[in-house]
Amino acid sequence: MPEKIKVVAEKCDGCGQCLQACAFFAVDVVEGRAVLAESCVECGACVPACPTGAIEMAGEGAGAKAGGLWVFVPEGTPPAAVTAARAVADEQGTTVSAIVTAEPADPSRFFAAGADEVLVLKGPADPAGLLIEAAKREGPSAVFALGRATALRVLPRVAAALGSAYVALADELMPAYGEKTVDANRPYYAGRFRTRVTPSGKTAVFTLDPVAFSAVGRDTGRRGQVRSLELPEAVRRDPDPVSAEKVAREVPLAQARVVVAGGPGLGSAENFAKLASLAEKLGGVVGASKEAVDLGWAKPSQLVDSSAGHLYPQLYLAFGIDGSTTHNAAIAKARVVVAITDKPDAGLLSVADFVVPQDPAAVLEAMLAGE
């Protein structure tokens, strides 16, 4: 019989939620009460599923399985990686812990996203130091985080400290059913190819592509527990900023819903500058071909090229862009591509949904004047 998990008979109302949560068919309802079978592996998945709190897990780690999945959620980051980890945990029959470094004001959002517990790390160190010490102590099978600035700094450090495999900005996770390994797909050669990687070792560390993993679970019926872990021995890794200010920042191309891009076919810097008005009108941002950047019409940060990363817009409007192999690779995941060019042999035509075979500068003027 399981030793760590027990059912408090007085609290159990026989609702059967635990049956659905158990991946090992190790729970039954007998005479209106949940009963754990011999086959229970004490994964703890039933604990947060119980709406009356009738299933309890003894000892440290109650509510989450030792060797479960951890998701580091820096302040201000949506718990989308928790939802991604939940899908992995369901395949593997394990648990998800949302890892935070400050008492959460509203832990229910982590449970709704898929967490079984919220683990609050406390100590004199910064998030990197706390996470490293906690992972050394509790040994999660994997650590995930959404690939934003803080996580992209902290998680490689964690991987290096643990000597673990690190997968940067995975855009697809492929857990093996019943096993602890997770394969991941990630871009390769600046996105022109994709490679599937298998991490080995004790604790695999993943950052997740924020665009590919943007969905946040909203299962408001999920419950879990909040646990604190004191880590007085944790050592600070990185400096604190002396100041930080909120500055208006251009939406990065990779996160833009609409991208209005221009190339040499627009004829002049003045025409290129007009793209900003159309982008504003459509709620988008301005991108540029390599030639437009080389001509000084646009900043390097506006470059649309697979060497600078992939774009995922709903709409990509290209004015006077020929469409090199790397440009076309960068926009391969755009939902709709419109090519506005008077060059009948432009490479962009082969990847366009719509083609406007007219002078790009004139079409731009007409768009600004019209709708």
Partner 1 sequence: MKAFVCLSVSFSTWNILWSMGAPDTSEAQRELPALDRSALEMAKKAGADEVVALGWFPAADESVFRQGLAFGANRAVRIAQPIDEAAAVDPLVVAAGLAEAIRKLAGVPDGATAGPPSGEGAPEPLKVLVFCGQASAEFGRGAVGPMLAELLGLPVVTGVRALEAGGGALTVKAWQDDLLATYKLDGPAVITVGPDAPAPGKPNMMLAAKAMRAPIESIDIAPRPASLRARGVTSNEQRRRGKEAVAGSSLAETVQVLFGRLRERRVV
The CB-of-327 to partner 1 minimum distance in angstroms stands at 10
**CA–CA dist 142, 135 (Å, integer):** 9
Question: Is 351 among the residues that bind partner 1 (CB under 8 A)?
Answer: yes
Which range binds partner 1 by CB under 8 A, 52-60, 63-71, 261-269, 329-337? 329-337
The CB-of-51 to partner 1 minimum distance in angstroms stands at 35
If the CB atoms of residues 26 and 145 are measured against partner 1, the closer one turns out to be 145
Are the C-beta atoms of residues 179 and 92 closer than 8 Å to each other? yes
Binding residue for partner 1, selected from 78, 282, 295, 343, defined by CB under 8 A: 282
Q: Which parts of 94-133 interact with partner 1 (CB under 8 A)?
A: 129, 132
Dihedral sign, CA of 35, 38, 39, 41? Answer: positive
The CB-of-120 to partner 1 minimum distance in angstroms stands at 20
The CB-of-85 to partner 1 minimum distance in angstroms stands at 19
In the numeric block, the tokens 């591509």 are attached to 337
Question: Is 336 among the residues that bind partner 1 (CB under 8 A)?
Answer: yes
Binding residues for partner 1, rule CB under 8 A, total 91
- Radius of gyration (C-alpha) of the chain in whole angstroms: 25
If the CB atoms of residues 82 and 167 are measured against partner 1, the closer one turns out to be 167
Q: Residue 96: helix, strand or coil by DSSP?
A: strand
Q: Which parts of 178-217 interact with partner 1 (CB under 8 A)?
A: 183, 187-201
Are the C-beta atoms of residues 315 and 278 closer than 8 Å to each other? no
CA angle 168, 170, 176 (to 5 degrees): 120
Q: Which parts of 212-251 interact with partner 1 (CB under 8 A)?
A: 235-239, 241-247, 249
Binding residue for partner 1, selected from 57, 118, 167, 311, defined by CB under 8 A: 167
Binding residue for partner 1, selected from 279, 288, 337, 346, defined by CB under 8 A: 337
**CA–CA dist 114, 116 (Å, integer):** 7
Are the C-beta atoms of residues 365 and 275 closer than 8 Å to each other? no
User: Which contacts qualify for 327-330: CB closer than 8 Å, 24 or more apart?
Assistant: 327/289, 327/290, 329/191, 329/192, 330/191, 330/304, 330/305, 330/306
Question: Is 152 among the residues that bind partner 1 (CB under 8 A)?
Answer: yes
Which range binds partner 1 by CB under 8 A, 4-12, 83-91, 97-105, 346-354? 346-354
Instruction: For helices 360-369 and 275-282, give the axis angle rounded to 10 degrees.
Output: 50
Binding residue for partner 1, selected from 118, 338, 341, 346, defined by CB under 8 A: 338
In the numeric block, the tokens 């902290």 are attached to 154
**CA–CA dist 96, 83 (Å, integer):** 9
If the CB atoms of residues 33 and 236 are measured against partner 1, the closer one turns out to be 236
Binding residue for partner 1, selected from 55, 112, 321, 356, defined by CB under 8 A: 356
For residue 88, what are its two tokens? 């992995």
Binding residue for partner 1, selected from 2, 67, 93, 156, defined by CB under 8 A: 156
If the CB atoms of residues 37 and 366 are measured against partner 1, the closer one turns out to be 366
The CB-of-94 to partner 1 minimum distance in angstroms stands at 21
If the CB atoms of residues 173 and 363 are measured against partner 1, the closer one turns out to be 363
Are the C-beta atoms of residues 28 and 19 closer than 8 Å to each other? yes
Among 16, 20, 2, 114, smallest CA distance to 58 is for 2
Q: Which parts of 300-319 interact with partner 1 (CB under 8 A)?
A: 300-301, 306-308, 314-315
**CA–CA dist 88, 314 (Å, integer):** 28
The CB-of-83 to partner 1 minimum distance in angstroms stands at 19
Between the alpha carbon of residue 176 and those of residues 91, 115, 187, 277, the distances in Å are 7, 20, 21, 49
Q: Which parts of 65-84 interact with partner 1 (CB under 8 A)?
A: 74, 76-77
The CB-of-167 to partner 1 minimum distance in angstroms stands at 7
